[in-house]
Structure 1
């Protein structure tokens, strides 16, 4: 009977440890990610900045974002060691699209628009933007942004996302 109790105790301890180790290391979900930004209003009267950072796959592998639209531009600043890619420009078209080069489990981005110092008339419309993050082609998150007119400070959207 003493041996049976020892065996039962060892079984329970082993089972308990096996269950807890699965909970400590959850499986990361990795998907193809696309960020789409659709701007409205007088967006051409603004200097727009999009920074994509922390695109990660595996345990800590950096993944480069690919600038799809506007296709005529390239990243204006790339800091590969920090996995940060920035685009700052005066938009001539209303959309920006960025894709992950491979499947990722997390990303971070910052979007902001600053008005250019130009004289504006009463018909001026502030820049608005809808930012959609797609995971494997489906909308995963959506954000609305509204810039402020000249003389006021716009508040950027800064998001860190972990796919589930």
Structure 2
């Protein structure tokens, strides 16, 4: 009887101390991100607006994005309190690349282009862009963006990406 009581207590302790798999909380992964934008078409006739609306860590801390291409390019406007970084400039380079200074858990960006030169030239090719988002140097998303002819409104490309969803 004493052995049975001991086994029951041991079994109860084992069950109460065992870890339930439903209690497992997967940690939120933070990764360094890179966004590459490759332009084609008559991109020199356009002005680019690229905005980082949110680049944050799991704890909500803001992370600074760095423009790496074109080299020596700075953000046109920075609002640190709102974690907003805006770049507005005429396109003279077929590539635009930015990277996070630190690992992040979320990214929100906007890309928009407006034709400002040669607006009467009907033979030009509209601007197109392929946007690739990388997490720790592994591509996680690809988006396409194409402008409409002059006089038409092209919707901006706006994306919200939860980096922790990607392995």
TM-score normalized by structure 2?
Answer: 0.83
CA distance in 2, matches of 1:119, 1:157: 22
Once residues 94 and 161 of structure 1 are traced to their aligned partners in structure 2, the CA distance between those partners, rounded to angstroms, is 24
- Bigger radius of gyration: 2
| Structure 1 moving runs of 4+ over 3 Å | 1-16, 18-21
Aligned equivalents of 2:10, 2:22: Cα separation in 1: 20
Q: Aligned partners of 1:158 and 1:14: how far apart in 2?
A: 47
**Alpha-carbon separation, structure 1, partners of 2:151 and 2:76:** 26
Instruction: Count how many residue pairs are aligned between Structure 1 and Structure 2.
Output: 161
Q: Measure, in 2, the Cα distance between the counterparts of 1:43 and 1:72.
A: 20
Superposed CA deviations along residues 95-139 of structure 1, whole A, max 9, x for unmatched, are: 101000011121111101112164432321100000001111121
CA distance in 2, matches of 1:150, 1:119: 6
2:35, 2:133 within 8 Å by CA — same for their partners in 1? yes
1:76 aligns with 2:90: no
Write the distance in 2 (CA, Å) between the matches of 1:159 and 1:12: 46
Please say if residues 110 and 156 of structure 1, whose CA atoms lie closer than 8 Å, have aligned partners that are also in contact.
Answer: yes
* Residues 115, 148 of structure 1: 8 Å contact kept: no
**Residue 31 (structure 1) aligns with:** 31
What is the aligned partner in structure 2 of residue 58 from structure 1? 58
Match of 2:146? 146
- The CA distance in 2 between the partners of 1:78 and 1:50, in whole Å, is 12
- Give 1:7 deviation, angstroms: 7.7
TM-score, reference length from structure 1: 0.85
Counterpart position of 1:22: 24
Unaligned stretches of 5+ residues in structure 2: none
